[in-house]
Amino acid sequence: MPESVPVRCPACRREHVYAAPSYPCACGAPVSPALDRLTAPTVITHRAWDEEWIVVRCTACGRGNQWPRPELGCPCGTALRIPVAAPGAQRRPVVLRTALDAVTAAALHLHRLGHRDIRRADQRPPSGIGLAARGLVAQVDPSVRPATLRDVECLWLTAMTESADCVYFSLAGYAEDARARADALGIALFVLGPSGPPSPANGAADALDTGVS
């Protein structure tokens, strides 16, 4: 069900119960923004196009889409902007039970790193699941075997053909030669834990995480 929060109009002090709108994702699942219960709504005094939209991520497929920012019209005539949770706080840590959970965890981490247009990659990798964003390709490997040298090199070649950076997410870690090759090529490696955000597995991944900490 869409999330509901109590809202008090700062102009007339009237109490409302606001239900977050739900929108259909391309995968068919309903998505709704996570609301910030700790921040008071703000009065809309002027409108700017960039402020009218937010990215809402589908919890089923991990796809992020732009939807209208939540608003409430009070009967007194005041228009209120309902605060939404910060991108990193819109979901509890993903517990990895399925390959889809691994993709969701990777997509959420890429969103935290600043990528807002995450989607399934057009080109399917030899193993795992491919994700893409502007200037980036990523591979998510939910298998129980460590990622191999070939896996890392295939990702790098795909990124080279698209003039993009690349990031690898593996559930079982990396073979030693794969890790060494990734270090030489500057590929960021992350390990998907059973819960919580992915952990950096090399210097390139550490640098990405440090840049947003």
Q: What is the pLDDT of residues 138-162, one digit of tens each?
A: 999 998 899 999 999 999 999 999 9
Among 29-43, 97-111, 123-137, the range with the most confident prediction by mean pLDDT is: 123-137
Stretch 160-177: mean pLDDT: 94
Instruction: State the Cα–Cα distance between residues 182 and 202, nearest whole angstrom.
Output: 8
Q: Is 129 left (phi over 0), alpha (psi -120 to 50) or beta?
A: beta
Give the pLDDT of residue 213: 45
Q: What is the pLDDT of residues 44-81, one digit of tens each?
A: 888 777 677 888 887 777 777 788 888 999 999 999 98
The yes-or-no verdict on residue 124 having pLDDT over 90 is no
Q: Are 130 and 138 in contact (CB under 8 A)?
A: yes
Q: What is the pLDDT of residue 166?
A: 95
Task: Round to whole Å and give the CA distance between 178 and 166.
Answer: 14
Mean per-residue pLDDT, 172-196: 92
pLDDT at 85 over 80: no
Where residue 211 falls among pLDDT bands split at 50, 70, 90? Answer: low
Evaluate whether 99 touches 129 at the Cβ level (below 8 Å): yes
pLDDT recorded at residue 212: 53
Q: What is the pLDDT of residue 38?
A: 65
When pLDDT is averaged across residues 95-120 and rounded to a whole number, the result is: 82
What does the longest C-alpha to C-alpha distance in the chain come to? 66
Intra-chain end-to-end CA distance of the chain, in Å: 32
- Is residue 26's pLDDT more than 70? yes
Residues in the chain: 213
Whether the pTM exceeds 0.75: the reply is no
